[in-house]
Amino acid sequence: MSHEYVPEIATDRDGKQHEVQGWQDDFYGGKLGFWLFMFTEVLMFGAMFMALSYYNTLHPQEFLDASASLNRLLGGINTVILLISALTMGLGLLKMRTGDVKGAKLMIWVTMLLAVAFLVIKGFEWRAEYHHGVFLMHDKLLADSSFPLGEKLFFGLYFTMTGLHGFHIIIGIGLMLWLLKRINAEKVRPDHHILHWNIALYWDIVHLIWVFVFPYYYMIGAGGATGGH
Amino acid sequence: MSKTYFDETHCAYGHPKSKFMQWMLTIDHKRIGIMYAAVMFFYFFIALGTAFMMRLELLAPGAQFLDGDSFNQAFTLHGVIMIFLFIVPGIPAIFGNIVMPLMIGAKDVSFPKLNWFTFWLYVVGTLVAMASLFTDAGFADTGWTFYAPYSITTGTNVIFTLVAAFILGMASILTGLNFLVTIHRLRAPGMDFWKMPLFVWGIYATAWIQLLATPVVGITLILAVMEKYFGIGIFDPAKGGDPVLFEHLFWIYSHPAVYLMILPAFGIMSEIIPTFSRREIFGYRAIAISSASIAGIGYLVWGHHLYTSGMADTAKVVFSFLTFFVAIPTGIKFYDWIATMYKGKIILSTPMLWALGTIITFTIGGLTGVTIAMIGVDIHLQDTYYTVAHFHYAMLGGVAFLLFAGMHYWFPLVTGKMYNEAHAKIAFYLNFVGFNLLWFPMFIAGYYGMPRRYFDYLPEFQIYHQVSFAGAVLFISGVIYMFVVFYKGWTKGEASGTNPWNATTLEWHLPTSPAPLENHTKVPYVDFNPYEYHHGQPVVKFDYKTMQRID
Amino acid sequence: MDTNNIDYKKEQSRFFKVLIGLLLLTAVTFIQPHLFLTEANFAAQMFIAVLKAWLIIMYYMHLKGETLITWMAGFSLFIVFTFFAIVIGVDVQHFQFKDESHITESAIPLHEAGHESHSTHSAH
């Protein structure tokens, strides 16, 4: 902003003056817009969860079996990693708002590191599954394999959803790099931090999606493959 | 004061000198709206040509110049363009952009740069959609609905169309998001929700549908791509998938999408009727709330597309019941419009003619919709010409007619000129007669069992197809004639002045016509209702220098 | 901007409190299938997830006190739940073609033409 934006004044019939909200410098508008964007994410993953529970209803036992075969330890570690990264992201924003730009940048770096760790662990998980013959267009998931249908559907959606979630994490890392660049260019400052705010929100929604992905995939078959059946 | 944020060219990047680049990079909502209109009507005429080709093929039974496969591609092309490129973005992208910020007294939409980006995203989407026309595999032949499993197994180039639909969906979401924030944040001081013009209400309800329904179809298309290229089983029964799930997910978006098309159209109607009846609109709140409730109920009725697809019987009953409900708020709107005209000073200008014509055509389209919302009747009429006629009466006779009405209504606002009213009226009558001649016989043909999407038919249906063809010729001439009238008006028309219709809403209180950059000279304080008339004259008057009321 | 009038120490301690809550809930996630509610494993897991989500939304995403956005979020969630209720609760729950359709089979028979029965182990 090379020029300072000065809001306009509207005058009513009694001569009273009302400040006009312009599209420039509208913190609340920016926040509202990003929340609306997050609703689209909710609807998108909501639709995928619907597909998941659709087939869960048709193949209840096979879903439990498939879920039981996932690696709960790695999934759990990833859950905790994301949990802590949400904290560091939040603290970074807090530091930015209270004027500690350096601390904020540090926190963003930590978050990014945790995000990379998440992806690496995810990679190991997928690798292990590949070696068990469970991977997209591979061995047991091929159309003519005798792998139970319900498990095929489960793993098809598992790779799609965790893949899409991973994609969101990658985008998140990109966004954080961009944010750092903007902070360095002083486009994001303690008194103008809408971008930081929204990227923190983005990171929370990515975490939020995982909060539901994790139990639906990893935990429903835990505690013995029958899970109560 | 506020003109200092960007320079006077109002571009997303830089300060281009050339007029052309200024348009390409513009963030001005009015220019973006005009560019949307240009792109959309370009594609509209392609789809119109395709439709005419199909009518020509159907003039006689048997194959004339299109074989079955090309015919499949032709109706897919027609459907994809008309739905995804033209009518879904249609009114929100054109008039939502041009008029909505003017109506609420804003300087622009909330995120002007995003608006610019959205427009180009839309253009990219259209190009991707069209690209498959020039590939070896050819354009998709699935119909615009891409029903699985056929869309997954067909050899034609469905992927381009799916990706394009996804990109266009994203553009649609971003438009909706932008409008929602705009309407919430940028209304002029004093204008609460109950003082907004009804077109803004229509856009608001539409924006919610754009925002919350479109992601569902987006992810559905992604799942279809995953299935086609990564072999996961989701919709293909050969891999354990259920095609009914695809239809669920697809219509969860695509049914609200028809309300997404019609709601802003109803908004245009609600602007035109009071203006040309010179009367305050009857039941303002009822119309506003019915817009919102159509949007709400519209989310819950998608299943009436699945009556014959193998959905559970319980679900059919629920959906049939819910579908009838949509007719209620729609009916409320129509009665309100008619009540507005009662004892008004009706002026039969061209926009009013189009609006009145739409009352007839949309009523036919709407009521025939109620008949096929009944499960038993629908089993008989599903996928016949009856259904085709029904949705063309609703979409073409409702949405497109009102879009044309809006074009006639806001033409002076956008161009500052006036078209020749006499010629415009001739164009309307050509369109109206041609339209009814084109589609009405299809109700009868469909009732007797003429299936849709066939390139061939039994000889006894020929008479209906011939009448339809005559209607198509009339209708297309009418459309072309209308655009000639517009073109002549734009190049040679007389200056219209800022408020040629004696309308009351804020977009007619601009200092110049066409509207200047940054719109109103000053933001007015709104302490009046949108349609205040007294003895046939607008009540509210402004001093256009200070934008203060002088009545 | 009004959002900057915050007490860093207070906010920070709130963040950590929420973190502890989330970690505890995660621990419960792991213990629950072995200890309690094993008959309703799925419902229990989803309930814990909702609790976690609520903590995140309210405190990490600062939804607390945002009336307008809360309403909008409620509306969006309501729509999603309605989709679930109809598609899962009304439609698939009443799936009518279990006897005729092979998509509910455990595996698709390899040579469909030659198979006389719908037995679930036919493809093994």
Where are the domains positioned within chain C? 1-64, 66-124
Return all residues near A193 (Cβ < 8 A) that are at least 6 apart. Answer: A93, A96, A97, C1
* Residues A19, C86: Cα–Cα separation, whole Å: 47
Nearest to C79 among B240, B299, B315 (CB): B299
For chain B, the average pLDDT equals 93
> How far separated are the first and last CA of chain A, in Å rounded?
62
CB contact under 8 A, A208 and C49: no
Banded model confidence at residue C101, pLDDT cuts 50, 70, 90: confident
CB contact under 8 A, B310 and C96: yes
Lowest mean pLDDT segment, chosen from B139-153, B267-281, B509-523, C92-106: C92-106
Residue A4 lies in a domain: no
Q: Which DSSP letter does residue B61 get?
A: S
Q: What is the pLDDT of residues C52-67, one digit of tens each?
A: 999 999 999 999 889 9
CB contact under 8 A, C6 and A97: yes
- Please report residues of A whose CB lies closer than 8 A to that of B211: 36, 39-40
Mean pLDDT of B225-238: 86
Q: How far is B89 from chain A (nearest CA, A)?
A: 18
* SS3 category, C118: coil
Return all residues near A54 (Cβ < 8 A) that are at least 6 apart. Answer: B242, B245, C87, C88, C92
ipTM of the complex in this document: 0.93
- Please report residues of A whose CB lies closer than 8 A to that of B239: 143, 149, 152-153, 156
Query: Tokens 């109506």 label which residue?
Result: B103
CB contact under 8 A, B234 and A37: no
Count of A–B CB contacts within 8 Å?
154
* Residues B438, B472: Cα–Cα separation, whole Å: 5
Return the closest-CA partner of residue B239 out of A143, A88, C47.
Answer: A143
pLDDT at A196: 96
CB contact under 8 A, B300 and C86: yes
Query: Could you tell me which residue, B158 or B178, shows the higher pLDDT?
Result: B178
- CB-count exposure of residue B66 (10 Å: 0-12, 13-18, 19+): middle
* Residues B289, B328: Cα–Cα separation, whole Å: 12
CB contact under 8 A, A26 and B110: yes
Residue A177 lies in a domain: yes
Banded model confidence at residue A4, pLDDT cuts 50, 70, 90: low
Count of B–C CB contacts within 8 Å?
47
Residue A22 lies in a domain: no
Q: How far is B508 from chain A (nearest CA, A)?
A: 18
User: A112: domain CATH number?
Assistant: 1.20.120.80
What does the domain layout of chain B look like in residue ranges? Answer: 26-549
Residue A56 lies in a domain: yes
- Please report residues of C whose CB lies closer than 8 A to that of A215: 29, 45-46, 48-49
Lowest mean pLDDT segment, chosen from A60-69, A176-185, B119-128: A60-69
Query: Could you tell me which residue, C37 or B248, shows the higher pLDDT?
Result: B248
CA distances from B197 to B203, B210, B288, C78 (A): 10, 20, 9, 28
Q: Which DSSP letter does residue B303 get?
A: G
Tokens of B336: 């309100």
pLDDT at B54: 95
pLDDT at C3: 55
Query: Tokens 């420039």 label which residue?
Result: A24
Cis preceding-peptide flag for B197 (omega within 30 of 0): no
Domain spanning B26-549, CATH class: mainly alpha
Q: What percent of chain B has pLDDT over 90?
A: 81
- The count of domains in chain A is 1
Residue A225 lies in a domain: no
Query: Domain span at residue A130?
Result: 27-219
Nearest to A83 among C22, C49, C105 (CB): C22
Q: How far is A103 from chain B (nearest CA, A)?
A: 30
Q: What is the pLDDT of residues B303-360, one digit of tens each?
A: 999 999 889 999 999 999 999 999 999 999 999 999 999 999 999 999 999 999 999 9
Task: Note whether A67 and A158 are within 8 A (CB).
Answer: no
Q: What angle do CA B402, B407, B410 make, to 5 degrees?
A: 115
Banded model confidence at residue A175, pLDDT cuts 50, 70, 90: very high
Mean pLDDT of C32-44: 85
Question: What is the pTM assigned to this prediction?
Answer: 0.93
Residue A15 lies in a domain: no
Over 60: is that where the pLDDT of C123 sits? no
Residue B346 identity: I
Q: Which chains touch C (3 or more CB pairs under 8 A)?
A: A, B
Q: What is the pLDDT of residues B514-537, one digit of tens each?
A: 888 888 888 999 999 999 999 989
Residue A8 lies in a domain: no
